[in-house]
Amino acid sequence: MALPCRNNLKFLFRFLLKSNYWERSFCAAVSPENKNPPGSGRVFSGIQPTGVPHLGNYLGALENWVSLQNQYPSVLYSIVDLHSITQPQDPAQLRNNILNMAASLLACGINPEKAILFQQSQVSEHSELSWILGCLTSMPRLRHLPQWKMKSKQKNEGSVGLYTYPVLQAADILLYKSTHVPVGEDQVQHLELAQDLARIFNYRYGDVFPEAHALLGSTRKVKSLRDPSAKMSKSDTQTMATISITDSPDDIALKIRRAVTDFTSEVTFDPETRPGVSNLVTIHAAMATISVEEAVLQAKGLDTGAYKALVSEAVIQRLTPIREEFQRLRADRAHLQNLLELGNRRARELAAPVLAEVRHKVGLS
């Protein structure tokens, strides 16, 4: 061991007292007040290349990503392929998924002239910073993160990569001195780890990293079409449960037609007692860019069967141009690879001087 456990604990205790950690920790993650007003700072976020995004991904994250690239002067979006290999991956399929994700993001509206779109593994500074930060992270801190508990229980065990991937996630954020990170509510604790590591590093070695603030995403939760008690998921074994952003109009109409509702024909919005119908109302409102109240008003006089046709129309109208653009981009593999390589170079230009600064502070150079 590089440092005895007792020394680590003493250091951590001194750090908590001096940094006023307990008062600052949660507030820093979700407070709307921060040092960087909208229109300044740097945004970073990442997405795993685990297949073409579905409707929940689009409404919960990607739609917001497109908006953020127009609000901030510096925006980075990473296809985080290193995170994806914490689960077994077929190498050929992974290569294909990386290009599929790049095409999906571009088709959804990510503009490589406004945002740096890049492949995480092609910027080696991510891995080196992750190791350095891992040496500042206690095992109990990682053990209590909810996703480790959930995923390790599902597998009855977990890999070292799965255990430490929140540290890599923190490195992804800190490497670019990011000031804002769009996250869902289930990711706030992982952002808190990045904030903690920024404070610990700065306290031990001198100021380098800002503490990134959460940009909490949409509160719209798109549920499975077959089980409205669960989130829509790419890993769902029921093909009728999930709408992909590249689904054909016929597939979209069929999936919505078979969506689980209930025995009441009137359309109302009550997620607690009518989750299936309420899920359709949420989807309709989001895709038609109207309020939930307006969606319910448009459904007046329709039974759930007729309303499903209205929902299908809104989804098809919104996703058709995305599907067509995805197909156009995917037909030109060389163009996609060139766009990613350009993004990789731009990301490395930002990452290299930060890692050089970190290496010097730590004593590695």
Q: Work out the end-to-end distance of the chain between its first and last CA atoms, rounded to an integer number of angstroms.
A: 22
Which residues have a Cβ under 8 Å from the Cβ of 253 and sit 6 or more positions away?
Answer: 309, 312, 316
Structure tokens at 251: 């597939």
Q: Does domain 5-221+333-362 have CATH number 3.40.50.620?
A: yes
Give CATH for domain 239-330. 1.10.240.10
- Tokens 């997620």 label which residue? 271
For the chain, give every domain's residue range.
Answer: 5-221+333-362, 239-330
CB atoms within 10 A of CB 326: 23
Is 282:303 a contact under the CB 8 Å cutoff? no
Positions marked catalytic: 151, 231, 234
SS3 47: strand
**303 DSSP assignment:** B
Instruction: Kindly list the distances between the CA atom of residue 305 and the CA atoms of 258, 308, 330, in Å, as whole numbers in the listed order.
Output: 10, 5, 35
Q: Say how far apart CA 176 and CA 212 lie, in whole Å.
A: 10
Alpha helices (runs of H) in 109-159, residue ranges in sequence order: 125-134, 139-143, 146-155
Instruction: Kindly list the distances between the CA atom of residue 220 and the CA atoms of 149, 271, 296, in Å, as whole numbers in the listed order.
Output: 25, 12, 16
* Residue-wise pLDDT tens digits, 231-267: 999 888 899 999 999 999 999 999 999 999 999 999 9
From first to last of the 365 residues of the chain, give the pLDDT tens digit.
444 444 554 454 454 444 443 334 333 333 333 445 556 799 999 999 998 999 999 999 999 999 999 999 999 999 999 999 998 999 999 999 999 999 999 999 999 999 999 999 999 999 999 999 999 999 988 888 876 666 656 655 678 898 898 999 999 999 999 999 998 777 788 899 999 999 999 999 999 999 999 998 766 789 999 999 999 998 888 999 999 999 999 999 999 999 999 999 999 999 999 999 999 999 999 999 999 999 999 999 999 999 999 999 999 999 999 999 999 999 999 999 999 999 999 999 999 999 999 999 999 99
**187 DSSP assignment:** G
Structure tokens at 206: 């001198």
Q: pLDDT at position 1, please? A: 42
Q: What proportion of the chain, given as a percentage, has pLDDT over 70?
A: 86
Q: Do domains 5-221+333-362 and 239-330 have the same CATH topology?
A: no
Q: pLDDT at position 27, please? A: 37
